[in-house]
Amino acid sequence: MNNQYIRLLLAVVLCVVTSCSTTRQLPVRETEGKDKREFRGAWIQTAFQGEYKDMTPAQLRKDFVRKLNYLQSCGINAIIFQVRPEADAFYKSDIEPWSRFYTGQQGVAPAGNFDVMEFLIEECHKRNMEFHAWLNPYRASTAGNTRFADSHIYNKHPEWFVTYNKQILFDPGLPESRQFINKVVRDIVSRYDVDAIHMDDYFYPYPAAGMPFPDDDSFRKYGLNKGYTNAQRSDWRRENVNTLIRELKRTILLTKPWVRFGISPFGIYRNKKSTSDGSGSDTNGLQNYDDLYADILHWVKEGWIDYNMPQIYWEIDHPAADYITLIQWWNKNATLEGPHLYIGQDVARTMKASQLTRKMRYERALSKVKGNCFWPANELLWNNKGVADSLKRNYHRYPALIPAYTHMHNRAPQEVKKLKKEWTADGYMLHWKAEQSPTNPELASYFVVYRFEDKEPIDLSNPAKIVKITRNTRYLMPYDNGKKKYRYIVTAVDRFHNENTGKSIKVKL
Residue 151 has pLDDT above 90, yes or no: yes
Instruction: Return the bridge partners of 272, or none.
Output: none
Q: What is the mean pLDDT of the chain?
A: 93
Q: Which residue would you say has higher pLDDT here, 81 or 18? A: 81
How many CA atoms, within 13 angstroms, populate the side-chain half-sphere of residue 451? Answer: 14
- Continuous H helices in 167-295: 175-191, 216-218, 233-255
**Contact call for residues 242 and 203 (beta carbons, < 8 A):** no
Q: What whole-number distance in Å separates Cα of residue 136 and Cα of residue 185?
A: 11
The CA-atom distances, in angstroms, between 382 and each of 42, 123, 385 are 13, 21, 9
**Beta strand 78-84 pairing with 39-44:** parallel
Residue 12 has pLDDT above 60, yes or no: no
Q: Which residues, in sequence order, are CB contacts of 353 under 8 Å at separation 6+?
A: 315, 316
Residue 41 has pLDDT above 70, yes or no: yes
Structure pTM? 0.94
Using a pLDDT cut of 70, give the percent of the chain over it: 93
**Contact call for residues 26 and 361 (beta carbons, < 8 A):** yes
The reported pLDDT for the residue numbered 263 is 98
Calculate mean pLDDT across residues 365-369: 96
- Report residue 136: phi and psi, to 5°: -95, 115
Among residues 134, 150, 108, 166, the alpha carbon closest in space to that of 46 is found at 134
**Beta strand 466-470 pairing with 161-164:** unpaired
Residue 166 has pLDDT above 90, yes or no: yes
The C-alpha angle with vertex 213 and arms to 209 and 217, in degrees rounded to 5, equals 155
- Continuous H helices in 87-167: 100-103, 116-126, 153-156
**Beta strand 260-263 pairing with 196-199:** parallel
The reported pLDDT for the residue numbered 248 is 98
pLDDT band at 48 (very low <50, low <70, confident <90, very high): confident
Q: Supply the DSSP symbol for 414.
A: P
Using a pLDDT cut of 90, give the percent of the chain over it: 90
| CA dihedral sign, ordered 112, 127, 422, 418 | negative
Give the sheet arrangement for strand 139-141, strand by strand: 139-141, 167-170, 161-164
Q: What whole-number distance in Å separates Cα of residue 103 and Cα of residue 51?
A: 10
